[in-house]
Structure 1
Amino acid sequence: MTEKNWLSKLSLKKMTALLVLLSVFVSLIASTFLLHHYVVNREQDLLKEKLKNIGRIIAKDPRVIDEVSRNIFSSESIVQAYTMEVMEITNVNFIVVLNNQLIRLSHPDASVIGQPFSNIEDASKSLNGTEHFSREQGILGEGTRFFTPIWDEQGQQIGIVCVGYVQDTINDEIWDAQKTIYIGLGVGLFVGLLGALYLAQYLKKILFGLEPKQIAANIKERDIIKESVCEAIIAVSPNQKVIMYNQNFIQMFEKAKVRGEFIQDGFLSKELFTLLFQETFQREKSLSNDVLVVNQLELIISVKLIYINEKIYGAVATLRDQSDMQQLIRELSGTEQYIDSIRAQNHKFMNQLHTILGLIELEKFDDVQHFIRVLDADYRREIGFVTDKIKSPAIAGFLLAKSSELKEQGVVLEIDGECYFPNIKMEEILHDLLLSIGVLLDNAKEAVTQTIKKHVALYLNYEEDEEVIVLEIQDSDEGIEEHMLQEIFKRGVSTKGKNRGYGLDAVQSIVNRYKGVIEVQSKVGRGTVFRMELPYKRGE
């Protein structure tokens, strides 16, 4: 397993703890290494300075000068007693007093007093009146020692003082000085481990328990999703900073021909912020499916506030071209009209078939024959009247289906005898005209449902001279109150309850699309009349 694969399998918590601990460990080891050398060198310098001071003090002591001058070699001598006392006080390992012949006058081992110094060559370096340090092997073992000359009152060198530590003692001194460093290293590593574990746990918490790969995957998924949706999306903070947006947002406002940069240095332009978000932040209330007009482009906008820890963090706006929504409404409404018409025809034919079947089972063949003649006469009368007035097969068929549907529901549809609609060549406007007729007839049907006189009248005509399609639908409902007349064409506004008010909005969009006119007249208790005019130039 490679190092990269090994690291990739570690969780965020373990990786964070490992990296922090490794950083602390390397830092502490490096610091300890540097401090170790500093302490060793400093301790050695201090020991040398200590040896130098002790040696010089002994060399200047009058008692030492006197006995060296007289060459007194005895374990009971003043020099021996004095040096042993100094050794005990200063903790040095040995103090040796020599005469100029390098014979010992004192030594920690009294048995060697009166014998030559163990390393004549090393000691003789100070016979010329100089001081020096050396590290040599002696009777007590390897050690560091300092040699300094002894001068009498006449200024003549009469001997040498050698003061030193054996290496084991030096090592003990250095270790005592280093113990604090190593204890500090251990404490630092322990604290570093605790800190690494806490940091890893804290990072895991604020990242909702997600691993880096999961975070990266979520970001990629978010980007894919936001670019895949049809709506334009933008989210901002209260200070205009853009949190996120998709390309549909840029394309939508380019389509609206908005000038200037929309986003500058990560902030939404003041004009767009005021247009899209200012009201939401001021009122601290989300908006849903509002109509926004930008340079004659109608947009449907919803703005939702974003809360973090019960405080407003920002807001996200979704926008969609109203024309897309209206096209969808038209398609859905048109489909619904066709389905309702087919359902009504199916219901009517099933009732008629059941009637014929029942008469046959009762062997009332004359009644069967009479009933079929009546159906045929009614059918010819209805079809003949409609097809005589309405030459367009699609519109004639649709009106016949709606007439049957309304009749099934107890509503009388009266088609004006003055109607006339030629079999003109119609393309997209045919679908829009059928949708408008269906919406207005359905609204009229629902309006008269609770009235005694359930009557709906329709007038459809194509005026050749003015090249305009005229549609007029009148019903016998209770009428619409005057304050509602200005609102009924707005999307979502309806007198029939919630989740309604999309049909008339679709009709209004059709009228606007063809630059036509739609009017409504209503009096309470007398009914309502919708009149729509669509300019249409008849093709050859």
Structure 2
Amino acid sequence: MWSQRRRLTLAGQFLVLQLVVVAFVLAIVGAISVQQSNDSFASERGAQMRSVSEYLANLSVVRAQIRGPVPATSLAPAIDRAVGLSGATEITIADPAGRVLSSSDPRLVGARAELGDSRVREGRAWVGTVETRGHRFVAAHAPIIDDSGTLVGLAVAEEQFPSFWTRLTNAADELVLYLGAGAGLGIAGSWLLARLVRRRTRGLEPREFATLADHREALLHSIREGVVAVGTDERITMINDSARSLLGLGTDVVGRRLDSLGLDQPVVELLTPGADSQDAVVLVGERVVVFNQRSASSRGQGIGAVTTMRDRTDLVSMQGQLSSNLSITDTLRAQTHEFANQLHTISGLVQLGEYDEVTSLVGVLTRRRAAISDAVTRRVSDPAVAALLIAKSSVAAEAGVTLTLTDDSALEALSPHTSADLTTIIGNLVDNAVDACKGGPAPAVVVELSEDADDIVLCVRDDGPGVPAELRDTIFARGFSTKPDVPGGRGIGLPLVRLICTQRGGSVTVGAGDDGDGVGRGAVFTIRLPKEPA
């Protein structure tokens, strides 16, 4: 039997619960009805008892005989008439001390009358309830005063409260009607509620809800991807541990608005319902995070959005290394193309027998290569950075762009870790600068390197179209590539540059160039990079 009750459906449990509630309410209604019956009895019969007691107290025979030698006998006729007129259970006449002189119940003569909190001894009539001989009575007390104004006795009229069953029977007609109507409505309402609950819960039972909730919690907090649910009011309704870690949030964020969490504006925009972002990339602190959002709805109505987040910092680092390798490959290809052209020229001169021209050309090429190498190595002592700048000059030349290292540049040899990071930064900034200005009139890129006690300062200028002021933060924060049509997937450079600077405790800024007459020209990227990791 117990196992069957435990197997009740959710709708059945609601029905049973509602029936219990209805039964409880009906019991309260019954109790209230009985109490109302009590109050009505006390009010009606109390007034009647007061009239009888005052009538008895005002009878001249009572005032005259109360001090007689045998009051129990002489007062009995008046008491009997009062009982007959009122239907009282007991009528008693007592002396001022409360001792019964005469009563409708002869056994009470000589006993003490139960006066309760009555003030009849002060000459005031009183109506109330008293408990005596194990029964409850509605009682009325009236003072008996002689012609001289002296209190000579007390007239007491009492009627016993009917039994509970009697009171319930007296109210049976209305009570049965009300209880029946209440029970019918309660059962009908419970049945409808049970059906509604079953339809709204899609037939799932409580144990299935509990299982789903446990699985949901385990799933959300065990996956490595961050998950954030935001309602239409832009308040967080759910967030898992991975999302808190990625966004740097505490444990008290559920129920708070997005704009109160201290997140960067691009992150807030991607979490706001309606963004519907796909593979949007943002730098969150020192991490590169990919955002994907889908709108959530219930029964055709929007209830917010769910955003997933993936930490792609390690992948970006690998892509940065790949980008460096691709840059080196492009450099080697450019140098190979340059050397091939030079060899073809030399071969043609040899075939023509122009040996003096061959000698002159080789000398020019040698001096040019030596001049480029000497111009870099005299200012840059770090081999990796110097080699990169020399190689990039060939790539820039192939694109028709002049790459120049300023005369006041100076850089000492660096630690391997700092050198690797700096070459990645220089390679990406130079590639972006060359792409930005090539095709223009006399395109040029200028690189300036310097260092102070703690930081390396890098400045890369170009004479391209520049970066609008409203996009100077966006180019670092959104998207791996601003040029999706570029073969090889290039364009991750600027987010990678910012990531490296952030991780090392450095900074990167972008501004407009100046051609000397106060007119902005091109873009200027300025990097401050600590020599050792922060």
Query: With structure 2 as the length reference, what TM-score do the two structures score?
Result: 0.47
State the TM-score, normalized to the length of structure 1. Answer: 0.47
